């Protein structure tokens, strides 16, 4: 989640991400990119973990449900290491509750909720390594880098995969925001709720079948649905449009057998999903920042004192840019 927020917006953001992780996803990736926690990107993380001694203490920031921390746990187990693993997130996370099927891995990690990367609850020089997958760019960069310097031991290493302004992940995120704004502008759920109300009145005998108002509402829903359907057909990533239309369709399907309350429950769920998706994609686009942000973070890290900084693109299937990987070292003293 985006830690630069303050006040009520920070609380709203924290609540949303807490609910999001409680639903059990391992990743915050834009739909269609969950596989990036496997393949080439997975190998990059395993390579990072391989440099640490058997008893290393490692921290994953912006951990969510612990996808990267669990990769470290898997590596530690398979390579007969004894890593001490910690995962910190500003959101209110509880992976033990949301990922019961992964209990063995989750139980090998100590999770810290409401822990901002800019104000970590750890002693100075405590960790051998720090990681973050789509995490560092969500922070107040200068403050977070200073805090990471504080908690890393001299000789400690850090690795972050960050969103890139020109990545496919961002292209898809912007497309989802465009779709969400269109759904809101067309007032799709308002139209569906109005139609539900008219059909409900007819079902209760308080309005006549085929009445003018019901036909007007039906025509309005059909027009909006046709517009959204056309957009979905032409989009390279129509997930938000399909999600919205799915909730609208289910609302009308359950109206007859279950009544207005059940139908409106579906539209309420759709509205909530849409609002949550908007917040998530807005966070993503805001965190990625303008072109050149990754290089600016490198400059801040150098100013903080980190050395051996390497910034390189991360690609999916060898040709699709999904972010930038930054590795760096807190130098030993003396």
Report the C-alpha gap between 48 and 310 in whole angstroms.
Answer: 13
Token digits of residue 203 = 């079902």
* Domain range list for the chain: 7-165+289-329, 169-285
Question: In the predicted model, is pLDDT for residue 26 greater than 50?
Answer: no
Query: pLDDT band at 33, cuts 50/70/90?
Result: very low
Partnered with residue 160 across adjacent β-strands are: 132, 326
pLDDT score recorded for residue 17: 60
Q: Which fold, 7-165+289-329?
A: Rossmann fold (3.40.50)
Report the C-alpha gap between 235 and 171 in whole angstroms.
Answer: 12
pLDDT tens digit sequence for 212-240 = 888 899 999 999 999 999 999 999 999 99
pLDDT score recorded for residue 10: 58
Token digits of residue 224 = 């909006």
Of 202-211, 245-254, 319-328, the least confident: 202-211
Which residues, at least 6 apart from 116, have a Cβ–Cβ distance to it below 8 Å? 3, 90, 139
Token digits of residue 182 = 């269109």
Which residues, at least 6 apart from 131, have a Cβ–Cβ distance to it below 8 Å? 45, 48, 58, 59, 60, 61, 68, 69, 72, 158, 159, 160
pLDDT score recorded for residue 21: 52
Question: In the predicted model, is pLDDT for residue 31 greater than 60?
Answer: no
In this predicted model, which residue has the larger pLDDT, 17 or 165? 165
């Amino acid at each position: 989640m985006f830690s630069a927020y303050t006040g009520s917006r920070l609380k709203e953001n924290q609540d949303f991400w807490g609910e999001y992780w409680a639903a059990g996803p391992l990743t915050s990736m834009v739909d269609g990119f969950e596989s990036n926690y496997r393949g080439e990107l997975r190998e990059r993380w395993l390579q990072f973990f391989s440099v640490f001694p058997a008893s290393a203490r490692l921290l994953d920031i912006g951990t969510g449900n612990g996808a990267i921390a669990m990769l470290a746990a898997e590596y530690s187990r398979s390579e007969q290491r004894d890593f001490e693993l910690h995962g910190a997130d500003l959101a209110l996370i509880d992976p033990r509750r949301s990922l019961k099927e992964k209990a063995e891995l989750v139980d090998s990690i100590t999770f810290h909720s409401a822990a901002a990367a800019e104000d970590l609850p750890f002693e100075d020089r405590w960790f051998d390594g720090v990681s973050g997958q789509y995490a560092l760019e969500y922070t107040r960069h200068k403050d977070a880098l200073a805090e990471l310097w504080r908690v890393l031991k001299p000789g400690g290493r850090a690795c972050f995969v960050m969103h890139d302004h020109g990545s496919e992940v961002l292209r898809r995120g912007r497309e989802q925001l465009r779709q969400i704004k269109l759904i809101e502008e067309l007032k799709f759920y308002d139209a569906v709720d109005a139609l539900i109300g008219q059909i409900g009145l007819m079902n209760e005998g308080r309005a006549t079948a085929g009445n003018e108002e019901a036909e007007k509402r039906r025509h309005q829903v059909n027009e909006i649905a046709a517009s959204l359907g056309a957009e979905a057909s032409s989009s390279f990533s129509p997930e938000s449009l399909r999600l919205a239309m799915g909730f609208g369709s289910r609302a009308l399907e359950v109206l007859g057998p279950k009544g207005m309350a059940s139908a409106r429950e579906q539209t309420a769920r759709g509205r909530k999903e849409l609002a949550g998706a908007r917040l998530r994609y807005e966070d993503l686009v805001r965190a990625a920042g303008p072109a050149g942000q990754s290089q600016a973070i490198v400059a801040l890290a150098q100013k903080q004192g980190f050395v051996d900084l390497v910034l390189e693109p991360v690609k999916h299937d060898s040709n699709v840019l999904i972010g930038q990987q930054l590795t760096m070292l807190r130098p030993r003293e003396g």
